[in-house]
Amino acid sequence: MTRVRRAMALDAASMARLLNQIIEKGGTTALTRAVTSQDLTEWMASDAARSAWHVALAEDESVVGFQWLSPHPDLPPEAVDIATFVQVGQTGLGIGSALFAATARAANALGYVWINATIRADNEGGLTYYQSRGFRDWHIDEGVELESGQIVDKISKRYDI
C-alpha cells in the first residue's frame, strides 16, 4: 500500500533523483535538463500558499512518486496546474491514483475550481493516466519547442473539482 503525505524540503533530493531518471529516459516530460534538489526546494517554496506538493512512499519510506499543484500564468485564477511523476518501472501500481486523491483534496481546500494537466501528445501513459482520473481535453498547442530543441504537440486536459 502506497502512503501519501505532504512533501517537505527534505524530500527534494529523492524527488530530484526520481525526476532525473524520468528526464533521462525521455519521451514523457517536457523537462529536458536535469534538476537539482535546490531546484525542487525553490519550486516548492514558490507561491507556497497557493500550491500543494505530495510524495508517495514505498513501505521502506523511499519516494516512489510525487505530484504538485501550482498556479500558472496562462491559467485563470480559479484553475491550477498539475504535474505527476512516478518512479521509472513503477507505473500502473496505484501510485498515481493515491497521489491524485490527496492532490484533488488539496486543490479543493485551496479554493480551485478546476485542475489543468498539460501533457506531451507523444506521452501515451500520461494521457491515459489523466483521462482515467476524469480529465477531458480542452486545448491543444501544436509545434511547441522544448528546451532541448525538440518539437512536440501538447494536450491540455481539464478536471472539474
Domain ranges of the chain: 3-160
What pLDDT digit, counting tens, does each position of 87-144 carry? 887 766 689 999 999 999 999 999 999 999 999 898 888 999 999 999 999 999 999 9
Q: Using DSSP, state whether 55 is helix, strand or coil.
A: strand
CATH 2.130.10.10 fits 3-160, yes or no: no
From its phi and psi, is residue 26 left (phi > 0), alpha (psi between -120 and 50) or beta? Answer: left
Mean pLDDT of the chain: 91
Q: What residues contact 30, with CB distance under 8 A and at least 6 apart?
A: 118, 120, 144, 146, 152, 154
